[in-house]
Amino acid sequence: MEITKKESTKISTKINKISIAISDKIDTFKLKKEEKAILKGLLLGDKSNLEETTISDFSDSNISHILAISGMHISYIILIISVIFNSLIGKHFSKIITSMFVVFYMYLTKFPLTLVRAGISGIILIMSNFFYRKNDLWQSLGLSLIIILIYNPFSILNIGLQLSYLAIIGIVTFQKTLQKSIKIYLERLNNRAIRKKWNRSKIFLRLINSKIVTIMIDSFLLTISCMITITPILLYNFNTLNVFGVFLSVLAGFIIGPIIILGIICLIFKFNILVLFLSLGLKILIFISKIGPKIPFNKVYLATPNILVVLIYYLIVFLGISILKIKNEKAPNMFQIRVRNIFSLIKYKIKSNKNKFISVVLLICLCLVFYSYIPKNIKVYFVDVGQR
């Protein structure tokens, strides 16, 4: 059945009323003004009530992405709706209801591009399970981008959309490889500690392998994986780099999930005890956001990188991760063995000629520094005054 423009306007009006009702209900919570504004930003993407100082604090602490409606919100929506409807109508048919709620949430938040990307990918994942098909992440990412660009080709210039896709690409490409590298390193360290009877190392390794520390390391690697791919775009557009932002982002990541889940539950049931926990979570998030501006040298301003430099950076990064994958491979093929042998030879040559290698690297760095200070727009004028 075709939806007319008039019917579409009626749907938009009704959903807009629901959005206003949710906003009004948040205003009834026993929260401070700043906490209410942040909660509206987290649940509805409404940043109109946020003060400039709050937005600046979140930006300086490198956690401003939390205020943007994105895939994190979609994942929690899918989780909550699935838990509710799995027991009511079964796991299979609850996927249809969950997909409908995802579309409703996109409508409710006025279709921000980062959420549309996550919403389309989430629906593809849900419905592939519904039809018993294997989901391919790269295909779902590509399909979501195609749908967005068909609707508006100029969306490709949106920085939020670029960062959203690059962050997902970073997670998919780097996180598992980095986790595997750390696991292999810890196994080697554990074997060495057992062989040489290092008791202190054994205690340290037990601590590292505990569940809490493992979750913290995984969260840190997740953030690092995102930062690897989005840093050039951030530098190109904003010329800033948050040195300690990775650690603050990991801390905020632990608290943001409970805040979103408690916020949704409080909108449905509004238990006073849950509102108290929600307030506590928001206070912790605000505290984390205020750490960044107080850390000296946290925000570093850099020159806008050249497009060629950005492309070279991505080339080096993806080559590096490919080499790391080859190094971690337990059953390498002939090509991977040859690559390992080449890098073993390079490593041996560098170790045997360490002083020469350091000298060459320092010389290259000095040349690059001097080159950066050479005026790029120098002009020479010759004045003919008519004298002979």
Q: Region of 295 please: left (phi>0), alpha (psi -120 to 50) or beta.
A: beta
pLDDT at 1: 38
Cα distances (angstroms) measured from residue 318 to each of 14, 136, 139, 170, 301: 47, 21, 20, 10, 26
Question: Which residues are bridge partners to 299 per DSSP?
Answer: 242
Query: Average pLDDT in the 302-327 region?
Result: 84
Count of CB atoms within 10 A of residue 222's CB?
20
Number of alpha helices (DSSP H) and beta strands (DSSP E) in the chain: 16, 2
The answer, yes or no, to whether residue 204 has pLDDT greater than 80, is: no
More confident residue, 186 or 276: 276
Each residue of 352-361: pLDDT tens digit? 877 877 888 8
pLDDT at 382: 61
The answer, yes or no, to whether residue 201 has pLDDT greater than 80, is: no
Residue that has been written with the tokens 């389309």 in this structure:
120
Torsion of CA 105, 109, 110, 115, to 10 degrees: -70
Each residue of 339-385: pLDDT tens digit? 778 878 887 777 887 787 788 888 887 876 666 566 656 566 666 66
Would you give the distance in Å from CA 264 to the centre of its chain? 23
More confident residue, 52 or 370: 52
Each residue of 97-113: pLDDT tens digit? 888 888 888 888 888 88
- Long-range Cβ contact pairs of 183-186 (< 8 A, separation 24 or more): 184/328
Cα separation, 150 vs 144, whole angstroms: 10
Entry pTM:
0.76
More confident residue, 262 or 12: 262
Environment class of 170 (CB within 10 Å of its CB; exposed 0-12, middle 13-18, buried 19+): buried
User: For the chain, how many residues are written?
Assistant: 388
Nearest CA to 122 among 57, 168, 188? 168
Question: Which residues are bridge partners to 241 per DSSP?
Answer: 300
Count of CB atoms within 10 A of residue 87's CB?
10
Cα separation, 214 vs 220, whole angstroms: 10
- Percentage of the chain with pLDDT > 90? 0
pLDDT at 369: 67
pLDDT at 2: 43
